[in-house]
Chains A and B, each alone.
Chain A
Amino acid sequence: MIKFLLNSIIILVISVAVLSSCSGDKKTNASEETKNQILHIGNGTEPQGLDPHVVTGIPEFRLITALLEGLVTEDPKTIEPMPGAAESWTISENHKTYVFKMREGAKWSNGDPVTAHDFVYSWKRLITPGLAAEYAYQLFYLQNAEKYYKGEITDFNEVGVKAIDDKTLEVKLNNPVPFFLSLLYHHSLYPVHKGTIEKFGKIDSRVSKWTLPGNFVGNGPFVLKKWDINKIIVVEKNPLYWNAPNVKLEEIHFHPIDNEQTEERMFRSGQLHVTSTVPSEKIEGYKEKSPELINIDLYMGTYYYLINTTKKPFDDPRIRKALAMSIDRRQIVEKVTKGGQIPAYALTPPNTMGFTPKAAIPYDIEGAKRLLAEAGYPDGKGFPESELIYNTNEGHQKIAVAIQQMWKNALNINITLSNQDWKVFLDNQRTLNFVLSRASWIGDYPDPNTFMDMWVTNGGNNHTGWSNKAYDNLIAKAAEAIDQKERYDYFQQAEEILADEVPIIPVYTYTRNYLIRPEVKGWYPNILDHHPYQHVYLEEIN
């Protein structure tokens, strides 16, 4: 009988092997693909789509930067603006008019020239109300763009973008926007090919087939070759790209992987060159055993807790400050998150384009106790049990448990924890249906404004109910200012108000942790985690 069992197991293994070998022809692994200049990237969740005006996420952004190019691109090291579809530009003295000179000889992947009219059409599409583009507001810096979007004006010619001729694009802004050139990196301001859009639908068709392989026409360094949903997206070098001779990669394979453990195993077995993330519990192991594989870069994002300032007793700034002062952030980054994060005592990450907040919430347990006592809860007596919500995730839970304990020890107050499904969590934040909530913000563009303008009265992302006239004034003044030093002064004052009023509790500044093989070259750390693929290449390591 045992022989019989053994035999059957052998038959089973053979039959499964035969079943499986019917398919699959080549053995992919990072070292072999390196020779062919084929980069394999783990790219997070399956992208929503590839329409630059419709999609919103980071995986989508990575793909679109390979396929399309905006007016400017960025230097891979410093992320300073560099000429892209525009060869050069001039900025008027009041910083409200930009004139872009389009690149001679720039072509779409079907051979059509890239002209100023393409950008006018694309930007018109972004703010066409019927398209309902989530990022339409990225263009609201342009004259009359917001009015056009809201239907207050219907003539697009009144909007501040105009093609003077095929090669000249004029852009007029409401305010001097010092970060306007960096805004142009954002995929929502990239051009789309008019002929292709109209072939597969109308200017305002969200549902359209133009982004499928074979249909997609782009002006970026790569063209779309293959897209198997939930399996792979392949892009290959675009021979018509203006800088094609300097693009070294032949193909990029973007693998949509939702599970970070799966991604890490794929990296370990050599199926990926770069991952999108790394499970936090594995960071330490990599740091000890193979530090050359793990990348820890400072990232322009802040992890913080929101306080609902409309709920008692959190309407009292002394209470909010006491909570913020009694968190030992060093413990959190060293013992809990362990990914090289930096304790945050103010909202804007340090050295955001030369801006480092001077304001800081101190770590001072005695001071916190005093504040709590002043507010009427000496030694936490009578303080109502309050709930902290976070979206279901082990990492958030660990941090919440640590902070819960710190508040218990320092202030003797009880906080309960509640994890929620992502969409439920977002809904509760939006409707202020919480007391304390985990939150984070990753900057949209490299400028402190992306962190500061959120907290103005009734700001769309100000989920705290907090409102402060002086703060609103400072942000408005900063928007009008041309001089960078003057702007930063306003932001410093605004940070002071945040540190004093504490509608939010900054916890740490993010780092981007991911795995990358040493064969990947031309990939530089920067605070936006942008790695323009036209500069990336692979080199065999012996």
Chain B
Amino acid sequence: MIRIILNRIAISIPVLLIVITVTFFFIRLAPGGPFDTEKAVPPEIMKNLNEYYNLDKPVFSQYLDYLKNLIKGDFGPSFRHSNRTVTEMILTGLPVTFELGLYALFIALFIGILAGLSAALKPNSLRDYIPMSFAMTGICMPTFLLGPLLVLVFGIWFEWLPVSGWNTLNGDKILPSITLGTAYAAYIARLTRGGMLEIMYQDFIRTARAKGLSEIIVVTRHAMKGGLLPVVSFLGPAIAGLLSGSFVVETIFQIPGLGRFYVQAAFNRDYTMILGTTILYSTLIISFNLLSDILTTWLDPRLRDNEAV
């Protein structure tokens, strides 16, 4: 088990290096630089700007400099926001995105597992069809539609909840968390249903029932551990998706999270900021995938015994 984990960590280092290298060179290939503006900057000023940020050096030596600083933990200054470093900006955005992702994950798991269970325990009945058609709608409905819709109903018509903000008005975290969580709730519902249906026809469930256990015990003690396996393996990508995919929700609700920093950086060609956030996101995705693999192994005896995985 420990060997697997160590193995995976070792593999992730070259993966990160490749991500850094590809990002570094690709953003420089993209037309337009960080200082291109609608009103042309005279060439002599552009020259000084490039010197200031070492953009006049050969690209490869810039790359080596970047790696050197990175090892020291220095992501460099933001090209656009002249009074902030990339590290500072990430540290302000990341906790917000994490918090939002956490609430959304709770909502997704709660609704998703309940709906999935309800469907799996009585398949092909109304209790299956209704939650599952909701799930289908949830998957199909993009957040940029659901968000404004919720705002319109709860923020503007009923005036129950604030339409935007984060930590400024009472209840301003509710709508964004629901918006972000819903799409994942739908996936989780479908995964739960599938996983549970498969398990419920297994022999050991019949044995458990034959022992005279109540249905609740059968479901919670015996079936759920195996039936939720697909959900657990989905958690890694889901958390990564919640963190990196929160941009739309952050924009709709005016939330100062990392997603907005990331997209703004890409539009502005803020090279250091793009690299910093990309490295961070890749690290997060790699770690959460690893974490969900470990959890899956722990839950699934078939995998646990097979060291080769």
**Are A229 and B92 in contact, with the CB atoms below 8 A?**
yes
Nearest CB of chain A from residue B254's CB, rounded to whole Å: 5
Question: Are the C-beta atoms of B83 and A423 separated by less than 8 Å?
Answer: no
Query: Which residues from A are CB-within-8-Å of B114?
Result: 5, 8
- B261 interfacial by beta-carbon distance below 8 Å: yes
Residues in A with CB closer than 8 Å to B155 are: 265, 269
- Is A27 an interface residue when CB atoms closer than 8 A count as contact? yes
* Contacting pair A16 B103 (CB below 8 A): yes
- Whether A20 contacts B83 in the complex (CB less than 8 A), given A132-B48, A265-B151, A430-B40, comes out as no
Q: Give CA–CA (A210, B89) in the complex, Å.
A: 17
Q: When chains A and B are docked, how far (Å) is the Cα of A525 from the Cα of B107?
A: 48
Tell me, rounded to whole Å, the shortest Cβ–Cβ distance linking A286 to chain B: 15
Let me know if B173 and A423 touch, CB within 8 A.
Answer: no
Kindly provide the distance from the CB of A214 to the nearest chain B CB, expressed in whole angstroms: 12
Among A28, A262, A430, which residue has its beta carbon within 8 angstroms of that of B169? A28
B138 interface residue per 8 A CB criterion? no
Which of A12, A46, A132, A262 meets B51, CB within 8 Å?
A132
> CA separation between A131 and B44, bound complex, in Å?
12
A residues near B48, Cβ cutoff 8 Å: 129-132
The stretch among B28-36, B235-243, B289-297 that forms the contact with chain A is B28-36
Quick one: which of A297-355 are within 8 Å of B by CB?
none
How long is the Cα–Cα vector from A426 to B225 in the complex, in angstroms? 56
Known: A20-B171, A259-B251, A422-B267. A209 touches B83 (CB 8 A): yes
Residue of B nearest to A232 (CB): B168
Contact among A212, A255, A426 with B83 in the assembled complex (CB-CB below 8 Å): A212
Cβ-defined partner of A231 (8 Å) among B32, B39, B166: B166
Mark each residue of chain B from 138 to 163: 1 if its CB lies under 8 Å from any CB of chain A, else 0.
00000000001001000110010011
In the assembled complex, B16 has its CB within 8 A of some CB on chain A: no
Chain B residues with Cβ under 8 A from A17's Cβ?
171, 174
B60 on the interface (CB 8 Å rule)?
Answer: no
Stretch at the interface among A47-55, A73-81, A237-245, A393-401: A47-55
Counting residue pairs across A and B whose Cβ atoms lie within 8 Å, the total is: 186
Contact with B along A206-248 (1 / 0, CB 8 A): 1111111000000000000000111110000000000000000
Chain A residues near B43 (CB, 8 Å)?
460
Q: Which residues of B contact A26 (CB under 8 A)?
A: 169
Partner of A460, one of B42, B165, B170: B42
- Report whether A269 and B148 are in contact in the complex, using a CB–CB cutoff of 8 Å: no
- Contact yes or no, A269 B163, CB < 8 A: yes
B92 touching A23 by the CB < 8 A rule? no
Query: Is B82 a contact of A423 with CB atoms below 8 Å?
Result: no
Is A94 engaged at the interface, CB distance under 8 Å to the other chain? no
Smallest CB gap from B37: residue in A:
A56
Q: Which of A24, A210, A257, A268 contacts B168 (CB 8 A)?
A: A24
Verify A427–B45 contact, CB threshold 8 A.
Answer: no
Q: How far is the CA of A402 from the CA of B159 in the complex (A)?
A: 40
A153 CB → nearest B CB, Å: 14
- Given the interface contacts A134-B45, A268-B156, does A229 sit within 8 Å of B264 by beta carbon? no
Which residues in B have their C-beta under 8 angstroms from that of A424? 30-32
Q: Closest chain A residue to B115 by CB distance? A: A5
Q: Is the CB of B36 within 8 A of A427?
A: yes
Cβ contacts under 8 Å, A261 to chain B:
148, 252
Does A423 lie within 8 Å of B107, measured CB to CB?
no
Q: Considering the chains assembled together, what is the distance between the CA atoms of A423 and B269 in angstroms?
A: 8
Contacts of A28 in B (CB 8 A): 168-169
B116 adjacent to chain A (CB < 8 Å): no
Whether A54 and B167, one on each chain, are in contact in the complex, defined by CB atoms closer than 8 angstroms, is: no
CB distance from B102 to the nearest CB of A (A): 9
Binding site for A on B (CB under 8 A): 30-33, 35-45, 48-49, 51-52, 77, 80-84, 89, 92-93, 103, 106-107, 110-111, 114, 118, 122, 127, 148, 151, 155-156, 159, 162-174, 177-178, 251-254, 256-257, 260-261, 264, 267-269
**Can you list 23 A-B pairs, Cβ within 8 angstroms, ordered by A?**
A20-B173, A46-B264, A48-B81, A49-B83, A131-B52, A136-B45, A137-B45, A149-B44, A211-B83, A228-B92, A230-B92, A230-B93, A232-B168, A262-B251, A265-B163, A266-B164, A423-B267, A424-B30, A426-B32, A426-B38, A427-B32, A427-B36, A430-B40
A contacts, CB < 8 Å to B:
1, 4-5, 8, 12, 15-17, 19-21, 23-24, 26-28, 45-46, 48-51, 54-56, 129-134, 136-137, 149-150, 206-212, 228-232, 255, 257-259, 261-262, 265-266, 268-269, 271, 421-428, 430, 440, 444, 460-461, 463
